[in-house]
């Protein structure tokens, strides 16, 4: 029987998972770069949101080989909102979350080959579309799918059906938030220099950590 997991609208629960996951990683002495850690927290919040899962059901493939058809139909002129990026990302996240919730078995290594491949596809086509930051995140998830799934499964087990508390925010977490902000500012400067419009970035995956931190204790 799978453990009960906390639900809620992901935009409301995201900050809880951001802080809860951060504390969990610190407690278990697990290192993860700021952008990857923030993305993982958002991924958890989204897939524990029942409405989000229902809204994305039509994009989830019953047969992984269907992805080959999506790749063949890809047009390089569509840009960052290309179906191949969205579909590969959604399926990679869905499979990773699903596998992480299962009891570990000898088949896990085999099962993880599919989300590993899908994150790799999302990374490749994000690079081609000019979204280097998101491409690097997807590449990290593809290369580190095994330890990420281990961390994810342990974190979900630790929730015990409850959302993590907003506080305390440790010094290590503040440092991690700062690194994420610095990385985002550098990316914005690079995009402006290269003439890349931030409006084309996938807002579902974009991290606005500075806004989040300001709102953590505002009561909103």
Rounded Cα–Cα distance for residues 201 and 204 (Å): 9
- Domain with 157, as residue range(s), is 10-215
* 3 belongs to a structural domain: no
Rounded Cα–Cα distance for residues 77 and 86 (Å): 15
Residue 61's contacts (CB-CB under 8 Å, 6 or more residues apart) are 67, 87, 91
* Preceding omega of 168 cis (within 30 degrees of 0): yes
pLDDT in tens, the chain (220 residues): 455 688 788 888 898 999 899 889 888 888 888 889 889 999 999 999 999 999 999 889 877 777 767 776 655 555 545 678 888 999 999 999 999 998 888 788 899 999 999 999 999 988 888 888 899 999 999 999 999 999 999 999 999 888 888 766 666 666 666 665 555 555 555 555 555 444 434 444 344 444 444 444 344 4
Q: What does the pLDDT look like over 159-216, one tens digit per residue?
A: 988 888 876 666 666 666 666 555 555 555 555 555 544 443 444 434 444 444 444 4
* 31 belongs to a structural domain: yes
In the chain, % helix, strand, coil (3-state, to 5) comes to 70, 0, 30
Rounded Cα–Cα distance for residues 37 and 43 (Å): 10
Residues counted in the chain: 220
Q: Token match 């900050």: residue? A: 15
* 130 belongs to a structural domain: yes
Query: How crowded is residue 218: how many other Cβ atoms within 10 Å of its Cβ?
Result: 6
Rounded Cα–Cα distance for residues 32 and 182 (Å): 16
* 220 belongs to a structural domain: no
Checking phi first, is residue 79 left (phi over 0); if not, alpha (psi -120 to 50) or beta? left
* 91 belongs to a structural domain: yes
Rounded Cα–Cα distance for residues 200 and 78 (Å): 11
* 131 belongs to a structural domain: yes
Domain count of the fold of the chain = 1
pTM of the predicted protein model: 0.74
Q: Please spell the DSSP secondary structure of 36-102, one letter per residue.
A: HHHHHHHHHHHHT-HHHHHHHGGG--SSTTHHHHHHHT--TTS-TT-HHHHHHHHHHHHHHHHHHHS
* 93 belongs to a structural domain: yes
* 1 belongs to a structural domain: no
């Amino acid at each position: 029987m799978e453990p009960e997991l906390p639900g809620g609208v992901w935009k409301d629960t995201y900050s809880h998972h951001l802080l809860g996951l951060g504390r969990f990683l610190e407690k278990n002495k697990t290192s993860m770069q700021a952008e990857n850690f923030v993305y993982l927290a958002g991924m958890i919040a989204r897939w524990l949101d029942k409405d989000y899962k229902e809204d994305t059901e039509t994009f989830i493939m019953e047969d992984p080989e269907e992805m080959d058809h999506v790749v063949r139909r890809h047009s390089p002129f569509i840009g960052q909102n290309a179906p191949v990026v969205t579909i590969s990302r959604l399926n990679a996240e869905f499979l990773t979350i699903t596998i992480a919730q299962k009891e570990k078995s000898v088949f896990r290594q085999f099962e993880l080959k599919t989300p590993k491949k899908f994150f790799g596809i999302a990374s490749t086509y994000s690079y081609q579309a000019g979204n280097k930051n998101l491409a690097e995140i997807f590449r990290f998830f593809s290369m580190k799918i095994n330890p990420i799934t281990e961390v994810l499964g342990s974190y979900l087990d630790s929730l015990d059906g409850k959302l993590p508390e907003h506080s305390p925010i440790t010094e290590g977490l503040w440092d991690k938030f700062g690194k994420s902000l610095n990385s985002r500012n550098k990316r914005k400067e690079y995009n402006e220099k290269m003439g890349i419009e931030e409006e084309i970035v996938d807002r579902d995956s974009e991290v606005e950590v500075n806004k989040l931190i300001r709102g953590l204790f505002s009561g909103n």
